[in-house]
Structure 1
């Protein structure tokens, strides 16, 4: 399993935001300059992270984005799922009926959610605070 570039960039950006003063307002430009993430990608990710409740945006003078929760209450799982969606290892484990040639005979499918849950639990144990150290 490998994170996409977007998930990786989101982790890098959130970690950079966590190193700032609590409640500090950040712009996509600042985070792009600080992390090397291209500006259009930083803008897109900040909007996604805000839509998932990890950043809070404020418009106008003095506006920008700030972390929505304390750094010890944001996990690696939160960030990855905000960008990637639910953590599942196989298509059949996401609860949507996908076409699979093995579907009628598969004895593993009912148990694949166990694997996804274990990975999510592991990612949930890593806080943004730890990543920012």
Structure 2
């Protein structure tokens, strides 16, 4: 099964919460309480998102974290890369020289194309869209409506969040 880690899911949930009031500064403790996540996990994710330049931080008693740029300029691919690293379906999707089977392999080129398509899809979805409660409209992808309890794979191969 292809799916994102819980840390990546939580990072998107954190960022979506912050996108609801982008001018507000949030502390790790506030976000942990708001979202029901452990504070150490929230702290770790906030640091990772700052390192990726998706959040900015201000120190001090009045400090906290906020989005580094508007939510419509932060893409799903940015959030995933901040936690997981670059999106790639296989090792050779990133670098064909990493695979010992490259000389005999007949699928590497097509896996690279699939990886490019996945990246384009994720780079076309903004945090603003993810944070909005209405379903995302992707003109070239047909996805059946899913309930929160549905864990069947989506057209992208990922499962419904919190499933």
Match of 1:74 in 2: 74
Match of 1:30 in 2: 30
Larger relative contact order, structure 1 or 2 (CA cutoff 8 Å, min sep 6)? 1
Instruction: Tell me which protein shows more helix as a share of its residues.
Output: 1
Structure 1 regions of 5+ residues with no counterpart? none
Match of 1:3 in 2: 4
Give the secondary-structure state (helix, strand or coil) at the position aligned to 1:65.
Answer: strand
Q: CA deviation at 1:103?
A: 2.8
Q: Does residue 109 of the first structure (1) align with residue 108 of the second (2)?
A: yes
* CA separation of 1:34 and 1:96: change in aligned 2, threshold 3 A: farther
TM-score (norm 2): 0.75
Alpha-carbon distance between aligned partners in 1 of 2:49 and 2:13, rounded to the nearest angstrom: 13
How many residues are matched?
Answer: 131
Deviates more, 1:106-115 or 1:56-65: 106-115
TM-score (norm 1): 0.91
Structure 2 regions of 5+ residues with no counterpart? 133-163
Give the secondary-structure state (helix, strand or coil) at the position aligned to 1:66.
Answer: strand
Match of 2:123 in 1: 124
